Amino acid sequence: MTAAVLVGPPGAGKSTIGRMVAEVLEVPFADTDAIVEQTSGRTISDIFIVDGEETFREMERRAVQEALATHEGVLALGGGAILDERTRADLAAHTVLFLSVGLADAAKRVGLNTARPLLVGSPRRQWQELMQARRPLYLEVADAEVSTAGLSPTQSRDAILAVLEHR
pLDDT by residue (tens digit) across 20-59?
999 999 999 999 999 999 999 999 989 989 999 999 999 9
The confidence score (pLDDT) of residue 51 equals 95
The confidence score (pLDDT) of residue 158 equals 97
Give yes or no for residue 82 having a pLDDT over 50.
yes
The confidence score (pLDDT) of residue 2 equals 72
| Whole-number Å distance between alpha carbons of 41 and 44 | 10
pLDDT by residue (tens digit) across 91-106?
999 999 999 987 656 6
The confidence score (pLDDT) of residue 101 equals 85
| Whole-number Å distance between alpha carbons of 86 and 73 | 21
Report percent pLDDT > 90 for the chain: 68
Angle at 113 between CA 108 and CA 118, to 5 degrees: 115
Give yes or no for residue 115 having a pLDDT over 60.
no
The confidence score (pLDDT) of residue 3 equals 85
CA 82 to each of CA 5, 6, 32, 77, 96: distance values in angstroms, whole numbers, following the listed order: 12, 11, 12, 8, 11
| Whole-number Å distance between alpha carbons of 40 and 33 | 11
128 confidence band (pLDDT: 50, 70, 90): confident
Angle at 140 between CA 29 and CA 12, to 5 degrees: 45
All domains of the chain in start order, with CATH: 4-165 (3.40.50.300)
The confidence score (pLDDT) of residue 114 equals 46
Give yes or no for residue 71 having a pLDDT over 80.
yes
The confidence score (pLDDT) of residue 104 equals 59
